[in-house]
Structure 1
Amino acid sequence: MQTTIAKPQTNVVEPVYFADKYVKALWLKNADNYYLENRTIVVNLGEEKAYVAVAPEKYLWPRTSTILQEISIKSGDSLLLIEIVESKNIGGVVLDSKWRQLGELMDFPKDVPLWKSPQYDVGIVAFDPYFATGLTDRPHSKRIQKHQVKVNLWFSPAQTDAAIHNKHTARDFLEVHTQLYGSGRMQKFHSNNFDTLYEDVLMNPGNSHLPFASVDESGGFIYPWHQYYADTDCIWMANEFHPID
């Protein structure tokens, strides 16, 4: 008797509730010619390249993003689709009942106007950390590791220094940011001092930066001193990839 292997369901969509009045977000799994009508920031959170139905061929590498409209996503295993649906008084995003100023959530300066949305799990992906951080040009099968993907939004008003740091948690994760609204910068420093700035990575809507992390001798992620700086009122998304033992 021949066994039939069921094909995975395509174009599976789940809403991600950040702040519906201002930001509409959908998690799209197993895209198959999924049509985007409105201007949409597309973030590839999956393991595979995501292909756009256009010639010549266009694709998104994992952990990268772009802005698309009036076109279909030909394929992609895990994508976040984000629309800014209202920009008037967009700072009101922080008034959503589930948003919090970071100083309310942890030991963080309460005079820094940095707000955080709820965080959501959006799948598990496997990759080689050395390849993902640019330490090697090719992934190695023996280094492939599973990671839980988590996403949340941040908001800061113009001219906010969001605090220099080089650690996130006791066991660090791979982090990439995607700009959703406004213009800002990801900045690197030689030390925990604003006067030691050595690199500005400009962030505009639809941009995701290359990972800042490197990998230490134990295989964990390590970071330079860095921060986000908001040139204008800004909303950006943190895409976190947490190692799974």
Structure 2
Amino acid sequence: MPVLTLSIGDPFYQIHVVTDEACATIKNRTIVLNLSENPINIREQTLAQFQSVILRDVSAENLSHAVLIEGLDDHPNEAALMEQVRATWPSAFDVRQEERLRGVGHYMSPKVWVGQYGFTVYHSATIPLKVGLHKEHDFCPVPGFREVHTQIAGFGKMQQCREKDVSTLYLEEPMAPGSTHRPMYDAEGNYPWHQFETITPSIFMAVEMLPDGATPPAEGVQ
């Protein structure tokens, strides 16, 4: 099986990128995210692009490009897990220096790029998070940037607003463990004002996808 193991979940989760694999046997509870336009087959059902589920004791077929997140049952005490995460990962503000992240209980793993795909795991600790509405991704100057988030632990919601004001909210999508929100960008990669908001302390994975012509930063490339 062509598998690349990412370090971003260490030491809490085992995260693998699987490509061009006809069949993968899933034993323990594992999140499977499909990044390919080709559907993944699971018994009589299919998993479309940017959809994810938790699988256990079953085979997944036709994994053209997928992410597997293992270790979901390794942390029976979720509060203790998140305390350990906060002691291990830096705050997102310290790493990214974005003003909207100042003073927010938001932590992040190192970011790893695999080709045009960037992977990061985040821990949102405070409720409400108030990470700040945004719609631009300045590090990608080429139109067509795409991004989705997959919930690993805890519960949250992805919010979309007409303006940079939560009172203009028009769409809210619940995020539970194993779920990935629907893509919110248009064909040109334009985003509405959006933010992730916590319902409970949360851990989620962000997958960033650069368009042709954009170059991933050298740091963290595998």
Instruction: Give me the TM-score of the superposition, normalised by structure 2.
Output: 0.84
Residues 30 and 236 (structure 1), Cα distance of their counterparts in 2 relative to 1, 3 Å cut:
same
TM-aligned CA deviation for residue 72 of structure 1: 1.0
User: What secondary structure, in the 3-state scheme, does the structure 2 residue paired with 1:226 have?
Assistant: strand
| Counterpart position of 1:126 | none
Q: Is the 8 A contact 1:27 1:122 kept in 2?
A: no
Counterpart residue number, 1:129: none
Instruction: Name the structure 2 match of 1:113.
Output: 105
Which of 68, 83, 86 pairs up with 1:94?
A: 86
The whole-number CA distance in structure 2 between the counterparts of 1:37 and 1:20 is: 20
Residue 239 of structure 1 is aligned with which of 184, 189, 207?
207
Distance 1:19 1:74 in 2: 24
- 1:166 CA drift (Å): 1.1
**SS at structure 2 position matched to 1:223:** coil
Higher strand share: 1
Residue of structure 2 equivalent to 1:197: 169
Distance 1:101 1:87, change over 3 A: farther
Correspondence for 2:196:
228
**Alignment match, 1:39:** 29
Backbone CA RMSD of aligned residues: 1.7
2:23–2:63: 8 Å Cα contact kept in structure 1? no
Report if the CA contact (8 A) 2:8-2:119 is conserved.
no
Q: 2:118 aligns with which of 118, 125, 150?
A: 150
Question: Which of the numbers 61, 72, 81 marks the counterpart of 2:48?
Answer: 61
Q: Distance in 1 between matches of 2:38 and 2:28?
A: 24
| 1:159 matched to 2:128 | yes
Deviations 1:34-70 (A, max 9, x none): 1110000001122421122x2xx22211211111010
Distance 2:118 2:67 in 1: 11
Matched-pair contact (CA < 8 Å) for 1:156–1:233: yes
Query: Structure 1 residues 122 and 65, CA, compared in 2 at 3 Å: closer, same or farther?
Result: farther
Unpaired runs of at least 5, structure 2:
214-222
Number of equivalent positions: 202
Counterpart position of 2:19: 29
Show structure 1 runs of 4+ deviating over 3 A. Answer: none
Which of 67, 76, 81 is equivalent to 2:68?
81
3-state SS in 2 of match to 1:19: coil
Following superposition, the deviation at residue 87 of structure 1 comes to 4.6
Q: Distance in 2 between matches of 1:19 and 1:204?
A: 18
Alignment of 1:8-19 (within 5 A): 11-19=1-9
Distance 1:161 1:107 in 2: 13
TM-score, normalised to structure 1, is 0.77
Letter in 1 for 2:45: K
CA contact (8 A) 1:21 1:86 kept: no
Maintained 8 Å contact 1:160/1:230 = yes
Distance of 1:69 and 1:122 partners within structure 2: 27
